[in-house]
Structure 1
Amino acid sequence: MPQALITGGSAGLGRALAAGLAADDWDVVITGRDRDRVHSAASELGPRVAAVAGDVTDEAHRSALAGRFRDGLDLLVNNASTLGGPLRPVLHSSDDGLRQVWETNVVAPMALVRTLRPLLRPGAAIIDISSDAAVEHFETWGAYAASKAALDHLTLTLAAEDLDVRWWAIDPGDMRTQMHQEAFPGEDITDRPLPESVVPAFLALLAGRPPSGRYRAAQLAPAFPGA
């Protein structure tokens, strides 16, 4: 069976993708910093999903993840991300705040890619979760947005450098997740779609296997209806 690893897999989009892949006959490992939550999620998602708790910014944790895939890996989803605390104007951002966002959103996924690249099976794919903020400019979103723009750029550069892997940066669109709620404290975000609503687009991506590149989830299901 194909093997997948999803970072930030205990809630939101990561958990929804794990459920969708497991239902599509994938074996999935999810990882997250909250040990209780990530193991609870894996237990609830069923026997096709396993958990490895830890922080992807930690080199020892990345090595532990590699140890789970000595027989090969078919899909890595770099979903773990952070806003870096309350959103604020760029000129009000601290050095430490910027470093935290970039460490989690840029440095860690690239480090994980380097760690796992030797284990990728022929035809494997990397999905880096992007955002509309990577290509648009919203007040107070600068630190997070810049990190996602950098992740997009690195993903597409890897696509030019390593032709044996599919490299996809995917913008899932607005979703009703904890992180999105943190971006809009006190606001009602129930008008946003649930993360489960975009899972068919990701399954369509994997079924259709378009060229490496940046895609929006809203474009994928109609373009690749075979999933």
Structure 2
Amino acid sequence: MGAVMGKLTTCDDAKTNLNKDWDAKDFSVFTCASAIHFAVQKDIDPLFFDMVQQNSSYDPRKDQVMHKCMDESIEYDDRIPVRGDHRPNWARFGEYLYVPVQRWLHNLEHGSIVLLYHPCVDVDELNKLRQLVTSCIYRHVITPYIKLTTERPLALVGWGSRLEMNSVDEKRVIDYIKHFGNRAPEEIIRDGKYDEYLIQEAKTVSEEDKNLCPNH
């Protein structure tokens, strides 16, 4: 579908023209502008979205989108996209200083779970969610995402679904990962080639991610 996936070509070598998706001089996408981080408010309910519930004919395993080269911009209408066109080379699994949506959407297409957090999120809540995600699924990407709200500064995203939250409910998080990890058009375990500002590589959880959240 469009450019060939995962190939090092002039189309997308995961190294060149990266400012088409994000100017690395723009610190605002990963920096909290305030000295005070958001307060935890456990009375704010999570906000869940699943395309299957919205459209009973939608099948996330048969969904098709396009791979677009680095000479073409990609924009999204949704505040937090759960599907869409993306770059041919996906991000290596792990945590980033920042990785643009045009990359991590491709990870979702392979069955990954992406953890998004607002830069001003409560650090303890972020650490709780990070620990759950990294212990549940190898194919994860963790990155700041400035478009999250103050009410729900944490989010998990799978292909066709998302869960926004203020605080971490362990059971709900694990249930989400078990249900929406691997629910995607392509179950590809192979790591990506894009690694700009990767700060922590993902570690294996179970063989080929067949057993999600094995210790929970």
Q: TM-score, normalised by structure 2?
A: 0.26
State the structure with bigger RCO (CA 8 A, min sep 6), 1 or 2.
Answer: 2
